[in-house]
Amino acid sequence: MKYSPIDKTLFINNRKNLAKRLKPGSIAVFNSNDIMPTSADGCFPFMQNTDIFYLSGIDQEESILVIFSDAKEEKDREILFLREAREETIIWEGHKYTKEEAGDISGIKTVRFTHEFEGILKSLVFECDHIYLNTNEHIRAQDMVETRDMRFVKWCMEKFPLHRYERLAPIMHHLRAVKSPAEVELIQQAVEITKKAFYRLLKFVKPGVWEYEIEAEILHEFIKNRSNGPAFSSIVASGKNTCILHYVKNDQQCNDGDLLLTDLGAQYALYASDVTRTIPVGGCFTKRQKEIYNAVLRVQKGAIQMLKPGNTLLQYNKDVGVLMEKELINLGLIDAKEVNGQPEDKPLYKKYFMHGASHHLGLDPHDFGNRYRKFEPGMVFTCEPGIYIPKEAIGIRLENDILITKDNPIDLTREIPIEADEIEDLMNAV
């Protein structure tokens, strides 16, 4: 792997925390993601299922993790199954984990090959009452393709129809929402790589460059710093494209006077960063651009202070909306009198700020977490207010990554320039 080895204590503790939440007499099964095909004999690069990585650190296809904490024999309480590296596999694909390597990475003592899985599972499952299975229950998940997890759900229920089945997703969502210090360090490492990429862009961006050239600079900096690449498709949007929230074509030329909105985040050891900055292509904001920019920045600074224990996403977004309302009134974009009579479910500010102000961040850019759960120390959120005015070709979003603590929130992205004057100074430095 490109990233440095991770202390296996992280994965050992994660499995212990999961085992505590399983019902007595339970077995839990986690699968790797599939390798997804393109066309002909092509495949996309493998991306590990983040749940099995969270529990094992194993970053390889066709891996399976079984947790059976009530097993009578200690060797059966945690079992990791690996794809066996045969001679032909090694010739064509290169090195695969050995049993010893996988044990060192995960802290799991019993490591077997995947072709042994079905027989071993049958020998254990009849000692259990409950079978916990995993599915993707993210509220924004798209399920157009049947996953390895879903195929296993069908297979398991057909083979063992009289067992009681339980959902792993609620447990994983609860556990993964609060990051351990080791996880925060990995997110911070991803942020540091993203910081380097942003500094690179400040020197590179000028009138006439193309969005895809900027994207290439981002990718170059990510890869050279041991990232696997972007945690999500980089948004490199100039001019009117800054008002397209998930713009990823990145195929237009950047012109003098344009704004450039870059939403980028390096992935490090599968942990994501997620940072947005908006800069002037020509090195200086216009008066109007800076006016709107500073309005967004004031909203962000106020919103960050709301990321404290006891708050909830629902209340937080309402309160951020109030901050944004005041700024939009001052900018002349909405009328104060109309705000007083606006529908509660359709506030006027949504015309210019139509997305949420924050989301969980971790192994996934939009990480798992219950939106009704109160904020707790150890949670990591983005903070990303924005104002989008298509008729003026002005879209400004500013996004930082924030760690909630028992005291004040910690901005993990605090060293990435964000003040308008600082950005101009850095872009114009000789």
pLDDT digits (tens, 9 = 90+) for 246-255: 999 999 999 9
Q: What is the pLDDT of residue 172?
A: 97
* Residue 41 annotated as catalytic: yes
H or E element in which residue 22 lies: none
- 366 noted as active-site residue: yes
Residue 163, pLDDT above cutoff 70: yes
Instruction: Label each residue of 361-409 as H, E or C.
Output: CCCCCCCCCCCCCCCCCCCEEEECCEEEEHHHCEEEECEEEEECCCCCC
User: Residue 400's pLDDT is what?
Assistant: 98
Active-site entry in 41, 143, 158, 344: 41
- Active-site residue, from 61, 149, 215, 399: 399
- pLDDT value of position 87: 87
Share of the chain above pLDDT 70, in %: 100
Residue positions counted in the chain: 430
Q: pLDDT-based confidence at 423, cuts 50/70/90?
A: very high
pLDDT of residue 345: 84
User: Which 8-state DSSP code applies to residue 291?
Assistant: H
Q: Which of 104, 366, 373, 392 is catalytic?
A: 366
Of residues 305, 327, 325, the one with CA closest to residue 316:
305
Task: Decide if 70 is catalytic.
Answer: no
Annotated active-site residue in 268, 364, 397, 401: 397
Whether 355 sits among the annotated catalytic residues: the reply is yes
Among 112, 226, 355, 373, the active-site one is: 355
| Catalytic residue from among 151, 164, 167, 246 | 246
User: Any catalytic annotation for residue 263?
Assistant: yes
401-417 pLDDT, tens digit per residue, is 999 999 999 999 999 99
Instruction: Reply yes or no on whether the pLDDT at 341 is more than 90.
Output: no
Q: Is the pLDDT of residue 343 over 90?
A: no
Residue 399 predicted with pLDDT over 80: yes
| pTM of the complete model beyond 0.75 | yes
Say whether 143 is catalytic.
no
Q: How far apart are CA 128 and CA 218, in angstroms?
A: 50
Given a cut of 80, is residue 13 above it in pLDDT?
Answer: yes
Decide if 246 is catalytic: yes
Of residues 76, 149, 274, 364, which has the active-site annotation? 274
Answer yes or no: is pLDDT of 108 > 90.
yes
Nearest CA to 211 among 247, 246, 265, 257?
247
In this predicted structure, the answer to whether residue 228 has a pLDDT above a threshold of 90 is: yes
pLDDT score for 333: 97
Alpha helix segments (H runs only) across 160-231 = 169-177, 181-204, 211-224
Query: Over 80: is that where the pLDDT of 239 sits?
Result: yes
Q: Which of 61, 384, 401, 411 is catalytic?
A: 384
User: Tokens 């979003």 appear where?
Assistant: 397
Structure tokens at 317: 């977004």
% of the chain with per-residue pLDDT over 90: 92
Name the residue among 267, 266, 234 with its Cα closest to residue 250: 234
Question: How confident is the prediction for the chain on average, in pLDDT?
Answer: 96
pLDDT of residue 26: 98
The structural domains of the chain, ordered by start, are 9-177 (3.40.350.10), 181-428 (3.90.230.10)
Q: What is the pLDDT of residue 430?
A: 64
Torsion angle of the four alpha carbons 80, 81, 82, 87, in this order, in degrees rounded to the nearest 10: 130
Q: Are the C-beta atoms of residues 126 and 30 closer than 8 Å to each other?
A: no
Model pLDDT for residues 351-375, shown as the tens digit of each residue: 999 999 999 999 999 999 998 999 9
Which pair of tokens denotes residue 313?
Answer: 């996403």
